[in-house]
Copies of this chain bind each other. A is one copy, B any other.
C-alpha cells in the first residue's frame, strides 16, 4: 500500500478544492492536485477513484450520519423532529469542515454537471431519510414527505449559511427554516 503519509486524504482534498476554485474543475488534472499536495498520483488514487470523487466522497458518510441520527431520535419524536435531528448531525459535520465546505460549494455551483450530481446525491439522501423514518414505524407517505421537506430545508438553510459567509452557525438557520415551514399554511403569518 506504499508509505503512510500524514493526513494524505485531507491534504489532497484541500489542494484539489483550491485548484478547482482557482483554475476551474475541468481545467485541473490530478497531476496538479498531487503536485500541490506534495503527494504521488498513486496516493491520490488510493483515496479517490477520480477527481470528481474528491467532491462527493463525503456524501456516503453524510448519509450514514443522517440515518443514524433519525434512528437515534427519541421514540416520541415526530417525523419532523427526527429529520431535524438528522440535519443537526449534518450541520455539525459541515461546521467541522469549515472553509472546505464553502470551497466545495463554489466549485459545484460553477459547473452544471456537478450541480446535477449534487441533486442526485440529495435525492439519494431523501430516500435514505425516508427509509430510516419507515424503520421507526412512520407510514410510507409521511416518511417520504418528511424526507423531502428535510431536503428542502437543508437546501435553503445551507444556501443561506454559505451566502452569509458562514458567520452564523448552520444549526439555528436549520431550526429557523423548520419554524418558518410550519407557518406557511397559517394565514397572515407570511407576507413580508
Contact = CB atoms under 8 A, between A and B. Distances in A.
Interface of A: 76, 78-81, 115-117, 119-120, 123, 136-142, 144-146, 148-149, 151-153, 155-156, 159-160, 176-178, 180-187, 189-192
Given A120-B119, A148-B152, A190-B79, A142 B176 contact: no
A138 B80 CA distance: 23
Going nearest first, the 3 A-B pairs with the smallest beta carbon separation are A148-B152, A139-B192, A116-B116
Q: How many monomers of this chain does the complex have?
A: 2
Contact of A116 (B76, B120, B144, B148): B120
Contacts of A189: 78
Given A117-B116, A185-B80, A148 B139 contact: no
Nearest to A141: B180
A152 B156 contact: no
B184 A185 contact: no
A182 B180 contact: no
B183 A142 contact: yes
A180 B147 CA distance: 13
A141 to B, nearest CB: 5
Contacts of A152: 145, 148-149, 151-152
Contact of A115 (B120, B190, B191): B120
Contacts of A80: 184-185
